[in-house]
Structure 1
């Protein structure tokens, strides 16, 4: 780690020069799953043909999607992709959005508690970004109402990316390659030669990229659309348990997003040594929501271990087992929580728990996973490459410093 900053900034000048010699041209095509219509990328999915959730109970196989965000240009989307992977957005050039939302880890980071600049350990895990286009609130405690509002948190939090609005603008406006790319993505705003990058453009571009992270083509989806052989018999058994009025999983993890987007108080235990997290009680200023967290989507859940807001459960099997342990069985002594009414005592067998895990793994779909940039306008390395470097010392051996 001690070699990281010199490595990053020693390469900056030469890489910027390369970027200027071979300028990046933003993609003029929409990502997979989107169609270019009057200059904007619009979502296309079979689920758009089905009735709305209001008419489908707890979410039948052919249930329509909730509202979604789209309507950005291909260039804005591609600019957002570069920004998402670029650590130049952080104060010290060591953390990008992709650090905590890595594509190969289900757009999470594989940690129970994420890590920001200077090795700061954060209080909660990083939620997956798959299908955020359909969500109406963000963060584990639901305190943000839009993706633009959400991203202000990590960008300017002193423990996460550590930047501030003026520093971010000064940094991006000081990089000629980024000025050129913003002019490609927002041409109407750059008609004058002295126009500068604005914060709302940064937020819009990153949002444009994030709403293209759509995962709706898993084996479950193929089964839902009518291909009966997409699931095995044990997986179908798991689906039936999932939707049953015994397990009641689908009442909160409602298809097709596999979340009802509500806050629920479950009474999950914190990892050993961690204080109790009040969750949504704080932003809602509502005592009944103490210990409440957003119901996460189960899409690509196989890829995002460990589970719960602080990574309490290492495996899917541990997570599903929690729900059959009895209502409120893990509530810490001294806490009186208003446990969600769906949580009860289903008394599932070991075999039924195994079948649930079998089914949950059918929700994995990375077919629209975006390509990670090989080079960045800032000249820094994309964070997935930097992380790989940190893991080895000069002799190719692991560096544990």
Structure 2
């Protein structure tokens, strides 16, 4: 534990921001907690680094490694991305930040079935967690973005969300003396560019790593950290009856594939076509990217539309019978793992108990009390858990 606390303390000390309005802003040159410095970049250290990764599908063993991580960013780039993430300067009116929909207190989601848009309108999908997002190959529920840089352009420039334009975003940062200086620190005095903005945000998001849960301690040999009901819940999760682990593959707890499961939409809402709207493939109608289950306890409501309010409701859906919630007239190509496991109420309770062992925010980044724009940073409350 001392090894984990020391880098965290260094991270806190190194990222303390000056309080005086005219003080010099300096970026941290210390890698985030869980990362070590090598060849000028920050690289993850974890129990899983020494294990081979399941690159594609599979059930995953206790000694299975994580997928490749976006890493090697400098400490300064990560720190700059941290400030940008919470700064409403990135939106057209200075009233929304990335953290508006990805709030640390809610597992980097917003706790809503549909995120709230720029004008207060409800969006039709929930905000996915950003924990471990640097391990993902595809982003958005419909997997339409292939990189963090591609994904972030959606909310930054969508008229329903932050509604900025590339030109205005760049000008706002160039006109801010604090950011001019900070970008020079992070990018070796190169002229400030949009590419640097995207790199810094990707660097910060890739540093949001959650691999220190009680499950992780158990998986790496500390078996006493889980209770007997939690272990029984893990056994249900990994069984060939429930088959949860075949899509939510440990240790990432996602196989990063598309699955059509036939989850119901909110009352009165039409079926969301999901991936079909992107690919045109009818077999992917109603299909969505399999989400990670890490920190799932903190990220209610659940499913792409936030249809289920609790974990208990969510796990019960899977034992309701194949296709039981598919609207009349729809013929979906349901994933073959969706069947009728006929789990008992006790087994469902055990599953929920196990899922709560995946909670870990020990590497929560330092949340800024101030941001370089002088605006109020958004959603910086920490949920203590």
Give the TM-score taking structure 1 as reference length: 0.89
- Confirm or deny that 1:295 pairs with 2:296: no
Distance 1:105 1:371 in 2: 15
SS at match of 2:78: helix
Give the counterpart of 2:268 among 264, 269, 273.
Answer: 273
Distance 2:155 2:28 in 1: 27
| 1:390 alignment counterpart | none
| 2:122 alignment counterpart | 121
Q: CA deviation at 1:64?
A: 1.0
Q: CA deviation at 1:51?
A: 2.5
Distance 2:57 2:166 in 1: 44
Distance 1:314 1:39 in 2: 44
SS at match of 1:378: coil
Residue segments in structure 2 that go unaligned for 5+ positions in a row: 1-18
Q: CA deviation at 1:57?
A: 4.2
- Confirm or deny that 1:101 pairs with 2:96: no
Residues 157-202 of structure 1, C-alpha deviations (whole Å, 9 max, x = no match): 000111010111111111111101101101141xxxxx3x211000
Quick check: 136-145 or 180-189, which moved more? 180-189
Residues 317-337 of structure 1, C-alpha deviations (whole Å, 9 max, x = no match): 000000000000000111110
Equivalent residues, number: 363
| 1:142 alignment counterpart | 143
Contact 2:107–2:298 (CA under 8 A) maintained in structure 1: yes
- Confirm or deny that 1:360 pairs with 2:363: no
- Confirm or deny that 1:349 pairs with 2:350: no
Residues 268-323 of structure 1, C-alpha deviations (whole Å, 9 max, x = no match): 01001222100000111211100000100000000000000010000000000000
SS at match of 2:342: coil
| 2:315 alignment counterpart | 320
Q: CA deviation at 1:122?
A: 1.2
Pair 207,56 (structure 1): closer, same or farther in 2 beyond 3 Å: closer
Residues 344-384 of structure 1, C-alpha deviations (whole Å, 9 max, x = no match): 00000000000000000000000001111010100001112
Residue segments in structure 1 that go unaligned for 5+ positions in a row: 1-17, 190-194, 387-401
Give the TM-score taking structure 2 as reference length: 0.92
Distance 1:303 1:206 in 2: 23
Q: CA deviation at 1:52?
A: 2.5
Distance 2:38 2:55 in 1: 28
SS at match of 1:21: coil
Q: CA deviation at 1:119?
A: 1.1
Distance 1:371 1:42 in 2: 19
Q: CA deviation at 1:94?
A: 1.1
Q: CA deviation at 1:120?
A: 2.6
| 2:11 alignment counterpart | none
Distance 1:178 1:285 in 2: 42
| 1:21 alignment counterpart | 22
Contact 1:102–1:109 (CA under 8 A) maintained in structure 2: yes
Larger radius of gyration: 1
| 4+ runs deviating over 4 angstroms | 54-57
Normalized per residue, the structure richer in helix is: 1
Q: CA deviation at 1:116?
A: 2.2
Distance 2:25 2:123 in 1: 35
SS at match of 1:201: helix
- Confirm or deny that 1:50 pairs with 2:17: no
Distance 2:41 2:54 in 1: 27
SS at match of 1:293: strand
Pair 329,59 (structure 1): closer, same or farther in 2 beyond 3 Å: same
Distance 1:161 1:57 in 2: 38
SS at match of 1:306: coil
Residues 77-111 of structure 1, C-alpha deviations (whole Å, 9 max, x = no match): 00000000001101111110001000110000000
Distance 1:232 1:170 in 2: 55
| 1:224 alignment counterpart | 219
